[in-house]
């Protein structure tokens, strides 16, 4: 998905202090409790990451992103949707799973 170029003005970049090997990108919903927890979890642990609140872009574009994510998971995606290095992903937020996924 060519998200970063297309939505450049809507993507938020959060700089962290931790040296990491994975590029982290989140699709989130601004009012979603789990998305807020996921962003806080990354920030509290010093990760650098970027995110796009899909509820803040035009609805047809949001629906397109949701369909693309659904193709990856084979069902309706859960948010936050974490993408690591553009090729690994995890749908939803479970802190101990994220810990395993991001361990260096």
What is the C-alpha to C-alpha distance for residues 76 and 46, in angstroms, rounded to an integer?
A: 30
pTM of the model: 0.88
What is the C-alpha to C-alpha distance for residues 73 and 76, in angstroms, rounded to an integer?
A: 7
Going from N- to C-terminal start, the domains of the chain cover: 3-102
What CATH number matches the domain at 3-102, 3.40.190.10, 3.40.50.300, 3.40.30.10, 3.40.50.1010?
3.40.30.10
| pLDDT, tens digit, 9 for 90 and up, residues 27-59 | 999 999 999 999 999 999 999 999 999 999 999
CA 72, 66, 7, 56 dihedral sign is: negative
**Closest to 27 measured CA to CA, from 53, 55, 59:** 53
């Amino acid at each position: 998905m060519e998200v970063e170029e297309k939505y450049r003005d809507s993507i938020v970049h959060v700089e962290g202090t931790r040296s990491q090997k994975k590029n982290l990108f989140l699709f989130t919903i601004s009012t979603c409790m789990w998305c807020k927890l996921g962003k806080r979890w990354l920030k509290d642990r010093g990760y650098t990451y970027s995110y796009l609140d899909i509820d803040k872009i035009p609805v047809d574009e949001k629906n397109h992103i949701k369909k693309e994510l659904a193709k990856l998971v084979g069902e309706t995606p859960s948010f936050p949707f974490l993408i690591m290095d553009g090729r690994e992903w995890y749908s939803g937020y479970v802190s101990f799973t994220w810990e395993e996924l991001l361990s260096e």
